[in-house]
Amino acid sequence: MGRLEGKIAIVTGATSGMGEATVHRFVEEGAKVVFNGLGTDKGFDIEQQLKEKGGVAKYVDADLTDLSAIDDLVKVTLDTFGTIDVVYGNAGIARFFDFHEFDMAQDYDLSMDIMLRANFYLTRQVLPVCMEKRSGNFIYTCSVASEHGLPHNVTYSAAKGALKNMVKSLAMEYGKYNLRFNGILPGSTYSSMLKRGGKIEAQFIPTIPLGRCAEPWEIANAAVFFASDEVPFCTGAMLMVDGGQSCGIYSGDGNGD
């Protein structure tokens, strides 16, 4: 406990799945957290739960496709806590479609705006704060899908691949300010997009050497690792948390089953 004591963090996409788990873990480790979701009372419920446990967290209803909402998210954080130490760009959506039939607005623009454009803009808005004090950690959910193709979900894979290279580029550009940029590459993780007992789970589990999907807290622990001061020489890194899913083609127990 106390690994993030005194740190001020922003977490996006945090009313379910790994984002919600990360808010809980950050607060448990001593951070004060501002987190966002969209059009849901659950964010306020999470905020209240954490306050009842003695934690400090603030929910902001923010549509990340609206740049002014991102400005508000940053402003609320600075007005409330005075600085920003950690940014975790986690928000994401999955749109499944046949590529020759995809809708430009819903299957391309929306995906890219949430998973790439919003992270570009949020990072840009926070950078001056961290550059001035020469301290800051930026973390992004890049996904194992950034490492390979993903049929019927092309924009997800494309956005995550671009995000991964954004992380590496920023790590090179802003290391001179003592700023760190790292990515987490989750494999198949239970969330509102991947439900227990569902069709997607059944498709993915045979490809995972550990034979199961990840729990959200397992990804959240990776975020705590990067957000802490335990790895100050680590930047531009991509941490696989995928049960071995990215290691190669997995074909069960080797007997052809």
Query: 141 phi and psi, to 5 degrees?
Result: -85, 105
The predicted pLDDT at position 254 comes to 47
Residues 6+ apart with CB under 8 A from 245: 144, 187, 188, 204, 207, 208, 209
Residue at token pair 């209240």: 48
The predicted pLDDT at position 11 comes to 98
Which portions of the chain are predicted below pLDDT 70?
Answer: 249-257
Q: Which parts of 196-243 are beta strand (E)? A: 238-241
Assign 110 to helix, strand or coil: helix
Q: What are the sequence ranges of the domains in the chain?
A: 8-241
3-state helix, strand, coil in the chain (%, to 5): 45, 15, 40
Cα–Cα distance for residue pair 15/40, rounded to 1 Å: 8
CATH of domain 8-241: 3.40.50.720
pTM above the 0.85 mark? yes
The packing angle between helices 17-28 and 42-52, to 10°, is: 20
How many C-beta neighbours within 10 Å does residue 53 have?
11
The predicted pLDDT at position 253 comes to 55
- Using alpha carbons, select from 212, 220, 215 the residue that is nearest to residue 239: 220
Active-site amino acid positions: 156
DSSP 76-105: HHHHHHS---EEEE---------GGG--II
The predicted pLDDT at position 250 comes to 60
Q: Cβ(144)–Cβ(245) under 8 Å?
A: yes
Distance of CA 225 to CAs 4, 12, 86, 243, Å? Answer: 9, 17, 12, 18
Q: Tell me the per-residue pLDDT of 175-233, one tens digit each, with 9 for 90 and over.
A: 999 999 999 999 888 777 777 887 878 888 888 999 998 999 999 999 999 999 999 99
CA 175 to chain centre: 21
The predicted pLDDT at position 154 comes to 92
Q: Tell me the per-residue pLDDT of 165-175, one tens digit each, with 9 for 90 and over.
A: 999 999 999 99
